[in-house]
A and B are shown apart, each in its own frame.
Chain A
């Protein structure tokens, strides 16, 4: 019990510090996430049009995923030096896989008949993307962002190890000084941030799902346009 009491006491006494690090933490993760999304959306769409690059690009994102976080952070020092930039770059790489994969899979899973119907009616490629594919793939794409956000916020604690900010500062400080309360002051808000991100994007996912996909289906399961999400990374 005493650990938790001390932790609460620490947070109250150093709330400005905790707040600052939380802010930094959120900044690092969200910038990495935003950059990742800005990269993955067009690249994911591009991949659906250039299938032969899929193994290469998704494979590369997979490899980035397998590199241990600390090693990646350490390696990136040679490129970005120490500090937040390095951390953002590493988190960006981590965020790629779920978002890339879900953008690609989400669009690929749109029923080909719908695309053919669109093309047959005289939609341009751009109109097929914006009027057919993206509206239907939206929930799957957001699910990828949701997974990436949780991973990013969790991994962002390591930014402190290479001179970056964020709640990792408190965790490392706690570890170094063998102070559980300080460590918890970093770990608990980080965990809460991850949960918050998860809930937020879950809400976005629901809100962004077109109403036509949420309505009750006629009869039993007649519709042939059932949306598929298999193969996509689901939160």
Chain B
């Protein structure tokens, strides 16, 4: 059931009467149970896209399907009652109690009163708000965080399959925001609702989303799992938007080259040795550099093998004996994980990094690879820079 399509955008565009092209040719598929985050700078069309799902905005062209049915053919009122909706401003009705606010959609759906009340209590307990205390309070008596908790409960009240959230935690202070994000993630793990979540906060998107849809000027720029975006797959704009600071993610996905982008100094340079030039030239080259090893390349500068200085003397005739073809090698396109695996498998203190054309760039030591793991897995941990050697 997990792969059943919940919402599909098929070539959807929206031009407002004033000529603003808010959304342009968006194609998007949202699976059942998926947590999709729409993100982008303000004015990128993310909120408009969201509001088109519950028909608060109708597309100028294109079609949106909800569970396989074209929503343009559905009564917007009836459609909206099946879709939870949370907005940044919370929008609790100040003249209604917390219980009445939560029960609005059940009431619109004409549930009987006992069922409404039972549902209200159940939901309040779910987020640790004692029903006896909060049921009869008014929104104004609650803190901003509590109000949005209720706002989320209200969206879940009639047990909709999908919930739309428009920057729901945007106006909360950072601590409360973090709490609500954690709580909501837990709720989501439990109920597996389909969530479409709009934010401009990349940290929030990476934390909550299964799938992140990056938008810019009305278009979808990139769609991917958080790890894919923070990894090598990001486009220039996305990378800029994420910010280098946030290059956290999965070492099994993040490419070595990506991680090295601002850390080229961490690559230790070894002298390049032209294999074709013979043993004597190699020996001189290594002696001049004072290096134990050289990176053996062919005429085109492509990787051949490691050259060990220890196996070379000025009188060595054949270079072949000094070549170590089993030396650990990775490409910049390989994930960080590959570098670690090579290091372990070959029991070597470093791994040779090759560029896309298989030209060696340098070697990456064990401690650098370890640091790469720490930085990607725990991007917020102290920036312990390995000292340049």
Measuring CB to CB, which residues of chain A are less than 8 angstroms from any residue of chain B? 111, 113-114, 116-124, 127, 131-132, 135-136, 210-213, 215-219, 222-225, 227
Contacts of B139 in A (CB 8 A): 212, 223, 225
Separation of A218 and B171 alpha carbons in the complex (Å): 16
List 16 A–B pairs whose Cβ atoms lie within 8 Å, in order of A's numbering. Answer: A113-B87, A113-B91, A116-B87, A116-B91, A117-B93, A120-B85, A120-B87, A122-B79, A122-B80, A132-B93, A213-B94, A216-B140, A217-B141, A218-B146, A223-B139, A225-B139
Contacts of B91 in A (CB 8 A): 111, 113-114, 116-118, 120
Assess the B94–A222 pair: CB atoms within 8 A: no
Q: Decide if B56 is an interface residue (CB 8 Å cutoff).
A: yes
Q: Decide if B256 is an interface residue (CB 8 Å cutoff).
A: no
Assess the B90–A120 pair: CB atoms within 8 A: no
Assess the A114–B93 pair: CB atoms within 8 A: yes
Assess the A124–B97 pair: CB atoms within 8 A: no
- In the assembled complex, the CB of A234 is this many whole angstroms from the nearest CB of chain B, namely 20
| B88-109 contact mask (Cβ, 8 Å, vs A): 1 or 0 | 0111111111000000110010
Q: Decide if B143 is an interface residue (CB 8 Å cutoff).
A: yes
Residue tally, chain B, CB below 8 Å to A? 33
Separation of A227 and B81 alpha carbons in the complex (Å): 27
Separation of A114 and B87 alpha carbons in the complex (Å): 10
Separation of A78 and B56 alpha carbons in the complex (Å): 52
Q: Decide if B8 is an interface residue (CB 8 Å cutoff).
A: no
Separation of A210 and B101 alpha carbons in the complex (Å): 14
Contact of A213 among B82, B95, B105 (CB under 8 A): B95
- In the assembled complex, the CB of A121 is this many whole angstroms from the nearest CB of chain B, namely 5
Assess the A216–B141 pair: CB atoms within 8 A: yes
Contacts of B341 in A (CB 8 A): none
Contacts of B80 in A (CB 8 A): 119-122
Separation of A210 and B96 alpha carbons in the complex (Å): 8
Q: Decide if B346 is an interface residue (CB 8 Å cutoff).
A: no
Contacts of B146 in A (CB 8 A): 218
Contacts of A118 in B (CB 8 A): 91, 93, 104
Closest to B91 in A: A117
Separation of A113 and B54 alpha carbons in the complex (Å): 16
Q: Decide if B142 is an interface residue (CB 8 Å cutoff).
A: yes
Lowest 8 A-B CB distances belong to which pairs? A117-B91, A210-B95, A122-B81, A122-B80, A120-B85, A212-B138, A113-B89, A212-B95
Assess the A224–B85 pair: CB atoms within 8 A: no
Contacts of B104 in A (CB 8 A): 118, 121, 123, 131
Assess the B81–A225 pair: CB atoms within 8 A: no
Closest to A115 in B: B91
With A114-B91, A212-B95, A224-B90 known to touch, is A124 a contact of B77 (CB < 8 Å)? yes
Separation of A123 and B77 alpha carbons in the complex (Å): 6
Closest to A215 in B: B138
Q: Decide if B144 is an interface residue (CB 8 Å cutoff).
A: yes
- In the assembled complex, the CB of A84 is this many whole angstroms from the nearest CB of chain B, namely 40
Q: Decide if B182 is an interface residue (CB 8 Å cutoff).
A: no
Contacts of A117 in B (CB 8 A): 85, 87, 89-93
Contacts of A123 in B (CB 8 A): 77, 104, 108
Contact of B140 among A119, A122, A132, A215 (CB under 8 A): A215
Separation of A112 and B85 alpha carbons in the complex (Å): 15
Q: Decide if B347 is an interface residue (CB 8 Å cutoff).
A: no
Contacts of A224 in B (CB 8 A): 89-90, 171
| B275-305 contact mask (Cβ, 8 Å, vs A): 1 or 0 | 0000000000000000000000000000000
Contact of A223 among B93, B94, B105 (CB under 8 A): B94
Q: Decide if B78 is an interface residue (CB 8 Å cutoff).
A: yes
Excluding A132-B93, A215-B140, A224-B90, 5 further A-B contacts by CB distance (< 8 Å) are: A114-B93, A121-B104, A121-B105, A212-B138, A212-B140
- In the assembled complex, the CB of A161 is this many whole angstroms from the nearest CB of chain B, namely 45
Assess the A122–B78 pair: CB atoms within 8 A: yes
Interface centre among A116, A121, A123, A217 (most CB of B within 10 A): A121
Closest to A227 in B: B94
Contact of B94 among A119, A120, A210 (CB under 8 A): A210
Contact of B141 among A111, A127, A136, A218 (CB under 8 A): A218
Contacts of B144 in A (CB 8 A): 222
Contacts of B85 in A (CB 8 A): 117, 120-121
- In the assembled complex, the CB of B54 is this many whole angstroms from the nearest CB of chain A, namely 6
| B256-289 contact mask (Cβ, 8 Å, vs A): 1 or 0 | 0000000000000000000000000000000000
Separation of A99 and B106 alpha carbons in the complex (Å): 35
Assess the A122–B77 pair: CB atoms within 8 A: yes
